[in-house]
Amino acid sequence: MDSLGDMLKRIPSPDLIRKVEEKKAALIANPIIVKLRAKYPELTEPVMQQNMNRLYQYVTEYTNCSQCPGLERCPNDMQGHYTKISCSTLNGLTQVTDSKVSCKKYQAQQRQDQIRNRVRSFYMDERALNEGYSADEILVRDLERAPAANQVLTYIAKTKEEGLPTNGLYLVGKFGTGKTFLMCYLLHKLAEEGFSGVIVYMPEFVEDLKSMMQDSQKLKETIEVMKETDILIFDDVGAENMNPWARDHVLGSILNYRMNRKPTFYTSNYELDALEKHFSFTSKDGEEAYKGQRLMDRIRPFVDVIVVNGENKRGQRNK
């Protein structure tokens, strides 16, 4: 049996009772609660007395959201979410229900995460894929590049309207004119529409294939990813030190599968004829013109060529 002293300790002091009542009164008079009661007239004071914890949480998180410090510093119990209050009456009894609702910032982050999850890169700087992109900036930042940028934007708009075509784009131009930047923009915008994408930096990919020869499972998985993705971009094609196996059994296999199925895109400093010559010569077997032509037969008919003019932007902060 509890001692009298223990029982007395559990009895709130008059001062504590007064403070609690003051907090309740302040909560009921809070403009946020006044507005809530206007929406739900059945939220009477007796009902509120039974749901003070819910209402306090609602006001606290409502206030936090109105002074949002950003998603990373969200002070609410569940990051990126706030408490929503609803009322319903059944058989004369009013039921107060609270639920957690995601905020706009959280929803925007989720959308961006979904876009990132649709895009994979091999040997590319991830910053190129995570930049903010503006169609206006792309068009006006370099007026020499504007015609090429407009063609890319037209391709994106047509794909959004009509679905993914089987033909891709071949962006050719001098060093640093923003070819990769335009392809990353295309990849990002089409990922927003739900398409998956892969971008591959060709010089390092071909070099890394040598080590993949010892790991057949990794090689198979890599090739399958490139075959099956909706959008495949080979960046800086022609700059790689090509070997017969990479050309005929890897690149040839990927392109043979994708042609007439899914679009493949390229950036290069080589015109198509010069690229054919590049593919015709390997460090191991020397010149094999027919093999270069065979590979180009899987590229040339399935791309629209876009010449990207402009100044060299490498080293500049904005492309």
- pTM, to two decimals: 0.73
> Among positive and negative, which fits the CA dihedral 117, 119, 123, 127?
negative
Phi, psi at 229, each rounded to 5°: -60, 150
Q: Report which of residues 122 and 132 the model is more confident about.
A: 122
pLDDT of 40 above 70: yes
Contact (CB, 8 A) for 256 and 298: yes
Residue 14: how many CB atoms within 10 A of its CB?
A: 8
How far is Cα 261 from Cα 228, in angstroms, rounded to an integer? 9
Q: Which two tokens stand for residue 162?
A: 């009509």
pLDDT in tens, 272-290: 999 999 999 876 666 788 8
List all residues 6 or more positions away from 245 whose beta carbon is below 8 Å from its beta carbon. Answer: 209, 213
List all residues 6 or more positions away from 234 whose beta carbon is below 8 Å from its beta carbon. Answer: 200, 202, 264, 265, 266, 267
Q: How many CA atoms lie within 13 A of 107 on its CB side?
A: 5
What pLDDT is attached to residue 167?
97
Residue 251: how many CB atoms within 10 A of its CB?
A: 25
Maximum Cα interatomic distance, the chain, rounded to a whole number of Å: 102
What pLDDT is attached to residue 315?
57
Percent above pLDDT 70 for the chain: 90
User: Across all residues in the chain, what is the average pLDDT?
Assistant: 88
Three-state secondary structure readout of 122-170: ECCCHHHHHCCCCHHHHHHCCCCCHHHHHHHHHHHHHHHHHCCCCCEEE
What pLDDT is attached to residue 3?
47
pLDDT in tens, 228-287: 999 999 999 999 998 899 999 999 999 999 999 999 999 999 999 999 999 998 766 667
**What residue ranges define each of the domains in the chain, with the CATH number in brackets?**
4-102 (no CATH), 113-307 (3.40.50.300)
